[in-house]
Amino acid sequence: MGFGSLVDSLVVTDNSGKAETTLILGEKEGQIQVEAKVYGTENAVTFTSTGMPQPFSITIVSGNNQQGVQGDTLSTSLTVLVTDKGGKAVSDKKVDFTIK
């Protein structure tokens, strides 16, 4: 999704002359601009929004403080839970496990 996507990109004005859509911010941080232009003319305005990094929390679920014999596979997987700032589980987030 990059910087973002629009729910509708071509919208017809309503009885009051208003047209609206919704911007869904993507995974990239940074400024995004959306131009609204009267179809077939050069009359346009530009909206500016900023995608901020989403604060995530990561906590250990299982697999911490295990012991085993050298060369063996530990019995419990190393499992973490990723949540958003509201405590809701977040899917499709890459987690990088690194031996230190």
Residues 11 and 44 in one domain: yes
Residues 9 and 45 in one domain: yes
Residues 27 and 15 in one domain: yes
* Own/partner long-range contacts of 27-34 (Cβ < 8 Å, ≥24 apart): 27/1, 27/2, 28/2, 28/3, 29/53, 30/3, 32/3, 32/4, 34/4, 34/6
Is position 98 within any domain? no
- The answer to whether 49 and 31 have CB atoms below 8 angstroms apart is yes
Q: For each of the chain's 100 residues, which pLDDT tens digit applies?
A: 567 899 999 999 999 999 999 999 887 788 999 999 999 999 999 999 988 777 789 999 999 999 999 999 999 999 999 998 888 898 888 899 999 8
User: What residues make up the domain containing 73?
Assistant: 55-92
Residues 43 and 68 in one domain: no
Is position 97 within any domain? no
Give the span between the Cα atoms of 81 and 57, in whole angstroms. Answer: 8
Is position 99 within any domain? no
Give the span between the Cα atoms of 86 and 100, in whole angstroms. Answer: 30
Residues 42 and 12 in one domain: yes
* Own/partner long-range contacts of 69-77 (Cβ < 8 Å, ≥24 apart): none
